[in-house]
Amino acid sequence: MTFISSILSWFSSIFFSKAAEISVVGLQSSGKTSFVNVIGSGQWSEDVVPTIAFNYRKVRKGAVTLKIWDVAGQPKFRSMWERYCNGVDALVFVVDSADQEKFDTACFELHQLLAQPNLTGVPLLVLGNKNDIPSHASVKDLIRDLQLDKIQDRPVSCYSCSMKSQHNLDIVLRWLSDRSH
Ligand SMILES: Nc1nc2c(ncn2[C@@H]2O[C@H](COP(=O)(O)OP(=O)(O)OP(=O)(O)O)[C@@H](O)[C@H]2O)c(=O)[nH]1
Ligand SMILES: [Mg+2]
């Protein structure tokens, strides 16, 4: 039975495969590369280095292939975000939800990006990462502090999650898979 179902899922992955291209942006050290590593390999590792410019990675999840642009978050790289967001199926904005001092900057950078005319309508997923740290902000706080309720030109979702404990990754993956076509 397991054999038959694995053959069936192999066939369906070939004949019904879908893809979504996504860009992952956000301030430095928010956990973008950790996110891509965790969904790519299923494993958490502390061993990450700050991204220089960007990484591109393809991740296969069942019948869905995610093509992911993991863009660097240090100030000197932020002007590149728009270029790597152009034409994607979804934007993922990662926030370190335990670093509330950076929320103003995150809010500014997010809204500056969303104001780019060629990104109008692209669905946005905001991830409040690092919720394993006790002082993290809730989804409600993130909606207020990042002014997510002011965004009216696209679908917006916001989840609290942790790459370290892999909390809520299942809903995040479902959201991303739903953007595939
Ligand atoms: N506690 C905790 N730490 C995390 C989590 N996710 C990432 N980190 C840590 O946060 C730091 C930065 O993670 P990165 O994934 O490199 O962050 P980034 O957003 O890719 O940073 P840049 O590439 O510089 O833009 C690393 O020390 C990670 O181990 C998490 O869920 N919980
Ligand atoms: Mg990175």
- Domain, as residue range, for 105: 18-178
Q: CB neighbours (10 Å) of residue 98?
A: 17
Mean pLDDT score of the chain: 95
Mean pLDDT of all residues in 1-14 = 78
Out of 34, 41, 47, 168, mutate this one to test ligand 1's pocket (max ligand atoms within 8 Å of CB): namely 34
Q: Which atom of ligand 1 is nearest to the CA of 46?
A: 29
**104: domain CATH number?**
3.40.50.300
What pLDDT, in 10s, does the model give residues 73-130?
A: 999 999 999 999 999 999 999 999 999 999 999 999 999 999 999 999 999 999 999 9
Is ligand 1 within 6 A of the CB of residue 29?
yes
What pLDDT, in 10s, does the model give residues 47-71?
A: 999 999 999 999 998 889 999 999 9
Residue 138 lies in a domain: yes
Residue 48 lies in a domain: yes
What predicted TM-score, i.e. pTM, was given to this entire model?
Answer: 0.93
Q: If you count them, how many residues does the chain have?
A: 181
Domain count, the chain: 1
